[in-house]
Amino acid sequence: MTRYVVLLMLFFALHVKGQILVEEGNKTSEKKDKVKSNTQSQTSIYAISNWSKTNRTLESNSGYFGDTLGTRVDETLIKNWSFGLGLRNRINRFLVWDGGMYFSRNGEQYAFSGTDTTFAYQTRYSYIGMPLRLNLSMGKEIQWHVGAGILPQMFLQYSQKQQWTTTLNSSDSQVIKTNSGYSPFVLSAVFNAGVQFNFSNGWGVLISPEIRIQLNSTYLKQAAYIHKARCYGVSFGLIKNL
């Protein structure tokens, strides 16, 4: 009788131990699956800020309204911040579609210093855009990506800050703002590359150098010049894997 009791207790102990191991194994597997799903999410949302050095190509319009460039040939690059919200969706193991909303700025600046006078201005063009990109993406916790796409942009405002001093050693400034006289719509090509660091809680950070090249003129067809922006910068942002 004692022998049967011992065998019964031994069977019960092995059964309970087996259940514990299975449960622990399931929990570990679930945890790994959760981390994997967070780092290889099919859909992600992100918020970014972009710092860029912006300049332009400028040439005289070949039409009837064309004019010489004059002092505008001496314009130089200016630094700008832009901001965006976006959505990414994984197409397959390597391809990711990227779209969103983007507030972007570009521009140029000019400075003149004479014997007893100075004059300077900083020009900025503001847009709302919707970038559409296709990225090649590789990696899990650390993802590398490179991509290209287009950026349709709707014109918002032209702003120019001017400062000057006169021969009487007085100084003054003004700000000129307008939303008329400019093309209501421009299209830019976008190229980007970068790295994304994913964490187990579903959040991540990304760093992505970016180039934007405007394809059509900022000005209307009747303007004296053909103006196309060039932006070279880097984006920083937070991303949430859903």
Tens of pLDDT, residues 211-232: 999 999 999 998 999 999 999 9
Residues 6 or more apart whose CB falls under 8 angstroms from that of 237 comprise 46, 47, 48, 49, 205, 206, 208
| pLDDT tens track for 26-79 | 544 454 444 444 445 689 999 999 999 999 999 999 877 888 999 999 999 999
> Quick check: 96 pLDDT over 90?
yes
For the segment 167-195, what is each residue's pLDDT rounded down to a tens digit? Answer: 877 899 999 999 999 999 999 999 999 99
pLDDT of residue 227: 97
User: Average pLDDT, whole number, for the chain?
Assistant: 86
Q: In the prediction, which pLDDT does 40 show? A: 57
As a whole number of angstroms, the distance between CA 81 and CA 105 comes to: 7
Q: Which residue has the higher pLDDT, 2 or 202?
A: 202
User: Does the pLDDT at position 10 exceed 80?
Assistant: no
Alpha carbons 149 and 102: distance in angstroms, whole number: 14
